[in-house]
Structure 1
Amino acid sequence: MTNYATYFQENREQQLAELKEWLSIPSISALSEHKPDMQRAAEWLADQLTAAGLENVKINPTNGHPIVTADHLHAPGKPTVLVYGHYDVQPVDPLHLWQSPPFEPEVRGDKLFARGATDDKGQVFLHVKAVEAILKQEGKLPVNIKFCIEGEEEISSAHLPAFLEENREQLAADAVLVSDTSLLERGKPAISTGLRGLCSLEVAIHTANTDLHSGSFGGGVPNALHAMVELLATLHDRDGKVLVEGFYDDVLPLSDEMRAEFQKQGFNEQKLQQDLELTALHGEEGYSFVERIGARPTLELNGVYGGFQGEGSKTVIPKEAHAKITCRLVADQNPQDVLDKIITHLEAVKPNGAKLTITPGEKARAFNIDPSENELLQKAADAYTSVYGTRALFTKDGGSIPIVEEFSRVIAPTVVLMGFGLPDENLHAPNEHFNLENFDKGLLTIVEFLNSID
């Protein structure tokens, strides 16, 4: 077999220079003033895909930012793999915390610093260069490849679902390959087999038609803050189990195999507790920390506010109080069903004298796949072995990438979440970076995986 390690070493400086060009484009999807930069970033990617040997390269306009597609379909009888990623990046604030300008990529030590270095331009770039390497070295690909790279992942992929539905035939594949996740830690690769879904709501309680003097009215009228505290206290038991009736009804139980994978992580709960300066960890009884944050649903208070919050004292009985709530969901929970159950619960336990207003928010389904019954996931885990010297563990991530569930439903049930970032690379924060060790090993791992697919 071709010595790809030598190939990538010989081309490393050129490839890093190209990646720096892309990272220099401030493709911040959330800020309208960067719309021209979004177009430039898409055009840059399209040019790279063309140079790599991909065909049918197209910049597809949407009502937001464009979606770049390409393919190479010359492996009859072989599977088709669709590579998904995104070229948009997060805003850079606060700018003064960056050690070097976020859009002036800089290598310091063995790390490449820039906004988008790990999330997700750097990881998308690996796939482009892996395909290019195979084509240059072998003259053909072992599988059929398609690319679908969007520019709105950081703003909830607003226009991608409709694009997937409208282009099902063009994007049809046997599997979707995504690199937008991370290793567990340095040298310890992982493949995520689950991403939590979510739902959110805001709760408002109103009592009197005005704030009242606590001396004149205290003890005789309802207090909106008291009512909110009483209401929210009904949502959990002391261990953190959610008390909403039916909340856990559709939760898939953890298999013995998956629990064994979690155990293999060897996560040090005591160290986490010390690092966070906590007196104790907290959560649903009967589950480890990694199981609680990856494979169990949650109901969290993200903000509770009302009444006087200025300096000093103001003896007031507030007329209103507010709370923001989000739930992280797992398979097979339906976000709307969970919201309905929470609303029913809140209305049933509403304190006397309180008027309740509930505003539902975002909803997204969880993604889940069983690795024990999926050959492609097993081959992906094996691909890490020859490069990293250790097989990837199967994990479940606590975060949400809603579009992954959409891909699994619309394009292909098999989604391979094959990430090369590290948890401490400051994605979404100042000084975002990509460890070049995983740049090098990521290229080799992707080539190994593509070549292993029958």
Structure 2
Amino acid sequence: MTIDAVLQRIDDMLPEALDRLLDLLRIPSISTDPAYKGDCARAADWLVEDLKSLGFDARSAPTPGHPMVVAHGGEGERHILFYGHYDVQPVDPLNLWDRDPFDPEVQDTAKGRVIRGRGSADDKGQLMTFLEACRAWKAVHGALPGRITIFLEGEEESGSPSLVPFMTENADELRSDIALICDTGLFEDDVPAITTMLRGLAKTEFTVHAANRDLHSGMYGGLARNPLHVLAKILGNLHDETGRVTVPGFYDGVKELPDEIRAQWQALAFDHEKFLGDVGLSLPAGEQDRTPLEMIWSRPTAEVNGLWGGYNGAGFKTVLPAEAHAKVSFRLVSEQDPGPVITAFRSWLEAQLPADCRVEWHDEINGSPASVMAITDPAFEQARQALSDEWGRPAAFVGAGGSIPIAGYFKTVLGMDSMLIGFGRDDDNIHSPNEKYDLECFHKGIRSWARVLERIA
């Protein structure tokens, strides 16, 4: 039998697959609110029973927070781990929803049919695409498509406090040849994508002190140091006229894109004017010798996220503040290390402080490194071809401007690379009222996983 029989089974059983997803969506598994602790456990139990029906040896594993769902099944030389999360975001503000967030339904819209409800796209609908692919494969072939471990978390939307301890304690059970993560999306709605680069993050908060109290500007203005002036001048020097970060050693460990990846990105024909226009901007900032996609996917950044001091109330108070405060963060790429980046930034800032000023750092040096997947593994190209076959358009290896911690944890804790493959769209309203998941994405997502598993499992 060929993959065609599995794909036909998926098509025929789509109504039943949709019913199962709607059943799971009705469980209000909000992980951040203790009032829903029982519902999180109920969602985990629901998934355990569903996995058992597919022939997996599945269990709900307790943690100090919400349970992890762990399941093992199938046979094969390559061991694959699939990760998803069953918890969802809170639904506030409830008055902005058009219907009960946990009374999901399929709706007709101007852009096609959608599954409306909290968790439909993030991440219950996405994780069920993989389970439904396994279900169809089992129905046609009588066995799972390979040796598969399922790992479903219940705290992703609340910071994953139990995740690393659980992974560390159960490393031998979870360690696999490669991890599959379904918590991403398509590129610009219709191009399938495998995320192979994730930026890391380093951040720091600090205060610049000057006088020992706020000063009257009429008495001290022009003579006394104003820490807001000092801080604004220093942070204004954070980039040069070409957009490069000026902190010494900042670009240590930053590697250039491989030619084949750069070519794929250029073929995507990213419309940066629309991307910026949607938020009321028009001109790209940043490094002038880089394309927009390079800047948001593969180049490091330095950003001032907050800057404040002095009087901020109604009216006016003519003071020279004694303190000025800032929050600064860095998105990291390639082999940049958060520790040295923050240390270099601190030294750079301290060297520019006038004699009458001092800086107070408010946090420990910490952060997360970037994740760069080893796409030389043949599984990456096999999966890319499988996605291209299903969607009728060349799939691309893409980057992600943000951070997805689980991919980094798989690398640092378990020594595994990850393939991030998802079928969400930008207008899915994840974390917002009226979340939805396109029925086409659910259907083709199932078919996509069947094709990927045929190639790599």
Q: What's the TM-score bracket when you normalise by the shorter of the two chains?
A: over 0.9
Aligned twin of 2:373: 369
Partners of 1:222 and 1:412 lie apart in 2 by 51
1:50 aligns with 2:52: yes
Alignment of 1:3-14 (within 5 A): 3-14=5-16
1:227 aligns with 2:230: yes
Question: Shift of the alpha carbon at 1:260?
Answer: 0.9
1:246 aligns with 2:215: no
- Secondary structure in structure 1 of the residue aligned to 2:362: strand
Deviates more, 1:261-270 or 1:29-38: 29-38
1:397 to 400, 416, 420: 400
1:427 to 413, 427, 430: 430
Alignment of 1:289-368 (within 5 A): 289-360=292-363, 363-368=367-372
- Secondary structure in structure 1 of the residue aligned to 2:433: coil
Question: Shift of the alpha carbon at 1:256?
Answer: 1.4
1:94 aligns with 2:93: yes
Aligned twin of 2:66: 65
Aligned twin of 1:105: 104
1:177 aligns with 2:180: yes
8 Å contact kept, 1:100–1:106 = no
1:121 to 121, 124, 127: 124
Could you report, residue by residue, the CA deviation over 1:20-48 in whole angstroms, capped at 9, with x for unpaired residues? Answer: 22212222222222222221121111121
Could you report, residue by residue, the CA deviation over 1:80-130 in whole angstroms, capped at 9, with x for unpaired residues? Answer: 110011112222222222222222212222111222111111111111111
Tell me, which stretches of 5 or more residues in structure 2 are unaligned?
none
Partners of 2:241 and 2:102 lie apart in 1 by 47
Partners of 1:241 and 1:326 lie apart in 2 by 15
Percent sequence identity over aligned pairs: 40
8 Å contact kept, 1:142–1:453 = no
8 Å contact kept, 1:157–1:403 = no
Partners of 1:27 and 1:240 lie apart in 2 by 44
Aligned twin of 2:40: 38
- Secondary structure in structure 2 of the residue aligned to 1:327: strand
Partners of 1:350 and 1:35 lie apart in 2 by 50
Partners of 2:405 and 2:242 lie apart in 1 by 29
Question: Shift of the alpha carbon at 1:145?
Answer: 0.5
Partners of 1:26 and 1:348 lie apart in 2 by 52
Partners of 1:255 and 1:237 lie apart in 2 by 26
CA spacing shift, 1:352–1:100, aligned 2, 3 Å:
farther
Partners of 1:439 and 1:85 lie apart in 2 by 15
Report the AA paired with residue 420 of structure 1: F
- Secondary structure in structure 2 of the residue aligned to 1:3: helix
CA spacing shift, 1:343–1:6, aligned 2, 3 Å:
same
Report the AA paired with residue 277 of structure 1: G
Could you report, residue by residue, the CA deviation over 1:54-77 in whole angstroms, capped at 9, with x for unpaired residues? Answer: 11x1111112221110010333xx
Question: Shift of the alpha carbon at 1:282?
Answer: 0.4
Deviates more, 1:319-328 or 1:289-298: 319-328
CA spacing shift, 1:39–1:357, aligned 2, 3 Å:
same
8 Å contact kept, 2:134–2:145 = no
Question: Shift of the alpha carbon at 1:165?
Answer: 2.0
1:448 aligns with 2:447: no
Question: Shift of the alpha carbon at 1:422?
Answer: 1.2
Partners of 2:101 and 2:331 lie apart in 1 by 31
Question: Shift of the alpha carbon at 1:279?
Answer: 4.3
8 Å contact kept, 1:30–1:155 = yes
Aligned twin of 2:18: 16
Partners of 1:342 and 1:221 lie apart in 2 by 26
Partners of 1:105 and 1:238 lie apart in 2 by 51
Aligned twin of 1:168: 171
- Secondary structure in structure 1 of the residue aligned to 2:208: strand
1:199 aligns with 2:199: no
- Secondary structure in structure 1 of the residue aligned to 2:87: coil
Aligned twin of 1:74: 75
Report the AA paired with residue 104 of structure 2: P
Report the AA paired with residue 365 of structure 1: P
Partners of 2:279 and 2:51 lie apart in 1 by 44
Report the AA paired with residue 37 of structure 2: K
Superposition TM-score, scaled by structure 1 size: 0.95
Partners of 1:145 and 1:39 lie apart in 2 by 23
Tell me, which stretches of 5 or more residues in structure 1 are unaligned?
none
8 Å contact kept, 2:382–2:455 = yes
Aligned residues: 450
CA spacing shift, 1:72–1:45, aligned 2, 3 Å:
same
Could you report, residue by residue, the CA deviation over 1:149-194 in whole angstroms, capped at 9, with x for unpaired residues? Answer: 1112223322212222222221121111111111102321111111
Could you report, residue by residue, the CA deviation over 1:206-236 in whole angstroms, capped at 9, with x for unpaired residues? Answer: 2222222111221121112112212211211
Report the AA paired with residue 108 of structure 1: Q
- Secondary structure in structure 2 of the residue aligned to 1:64: coil
8 Å contact kept, 1:174–1:412 = no
State the superposition RMSD in angstroms: 1.7
Partners of 1:244 and 1:101 lie apart in 2 by 50
- Secondary structure in structure 2 of the residue aligned to 1:360: coil
CA spacing shift, 1:205–1:370, aligned 2, 3 Å:
same
Partners of 2:59 and 2:179 lie apart in 1 by 19
Report the AA paired with residue 375 of structure 1: P
8 Å contact kept, 2:176–2:416 = no
CA spacing shift, 1:121–1:210, aligned 2, 3 Å:
same
Report the AA paired with residue 208 of structure 2: I
